[in-house]
Structure 1
Amino acid sequence: MPKLGTLNLNVDASINEELNQYIIVGVVRDDQSRLLLTFGKQITKPLSVVHGELLAIKEGVNLLYEKKFNDVQVESDSLLAMQTVTTKMVNLGYVGLCATETRLRIQQPKITKVIHVRRSVNRVAHCIAHFACFIPSPFI
């Protein structure tokens, strides 16, 4: 749970190769866990699960800026995605470019913290993504 006055963005991605469904979602809550905003988006096939998670982080952070939210803690249950956006690894591939764009965005003052959390903490975003990805025609 974020500290008093801070918002929390939880993101997740889900992939269902069989149905050709690729979904990213995010949930923004306040310091009392009250739901403020959600987003969901069907995406083209990501290069990997980590790429999908990076796209979810990027989309969520862009939405935070669009809505002019401040003091936001970003959380994901993908350790590799979080390490990718918080370290200065050089990767010239498409996933690396996505990570670099996201890293530059999260370094702005609106984002107070970027952390990896267990799936149980990220459960709301995970369940929405999983549900949306495993139904024949997503509601997103």
Structure 2
Amino acid sequence: MPGDGAEIWVKPQQYTVKISVDAATFNDRHATGMGMVARDYTGGLVSAKTKLLQELLQPSMAEAVAIKEALSWIKEMKWDKTVVESDCLVAIQSIRSSVHMRSRFGRTIEDCRRIIKGLNNMELYFIKRSANRSAHELARLSHMYPDRIFDGSSIPVIVKDCIVLDSVEK
């Protein structure tokens, strides 16, 4: 699909919120963490969010759950024009597909499809890990900051640095 496969983070169009999403698994804690970073057309942070589940999910399932969380966040925040990006090709292709899967992963994908139907002006893209650094770092930190919402003054420095680098690297 056009727009898929970006190797660097690209600013969204004006009046658009772009949400980068990633998941991380913590075998030693038997937990799964998620990071979501919402930015505006200037590349500036709108908000960021973590979620920590006390359950160890398989990577594709973790990514699908993270995308579902991001879609629910869009709905909750009432953002009008949005882009959601993930570096999990399996989850993105599954959401775009019309195939019905009889599994927990399939139910999560169905939930994503249902939420997307209720959203206006929402696009979903696959990006490379190199274009998803901020969400990746936030997901890796989610066990230290479980179920938190961040703004520019509270976001962990490593994530803030990724956001700044994304805005200047072109």
Give me the TM-score of the superposition, normalised by structure 2: 0.75
Tell me what 1:128 maps to: 138
Rg: which structure is higher?
2
Taking the aligned partners of 1:74 and 1:107, their CA distance within structure 2 comes to 14
2:106 matched to which residue of 1? 96
| Partner residue, 2:43 | 33
CA distance in 2 between partners of 1:80 and 1:111 (Å): 23
Give aligned pairs, total. 136
Partner of 1:52: 62
Indicate the RMSD between aligned Cα atoms, in angstroms: 1.4
Instruction: Please identify runs of 4+ aligned residues in structure 1 that moved more than 4 A.
Output: none
Q: CA deviation at 1:46?
A: 4.8
- 1:7 matched to 2:7? The reply is no
Greater share of helix: 2
- Gap regions ≥5 residues in structure 1: none
Change over 3 Å in CA distance of 1:46–1:105 after alignment to 2? farther
Unaligned stretches of 5+ in structure 2? Answer: 1-10, 147-170
Whether the 8 Å contact between 1:77 and 1:117 is mirrored in structure 2 is yes
Determine if contact 1:12/1:125 at 8 Å carries over to the other structure.
Answer: yes
Whichever residue aligns with residue 108 of structure 2, its letter is C
CA contact (8 A) 1:26 1:39 kept: yes
CA positional deviation for 1:9: 0.7
Would you say 1:65 and 2:75 are equivalent positions?
Answer: yes
SS at match of 1:91: coil
- The aligned counterpart of 2:116 is 106
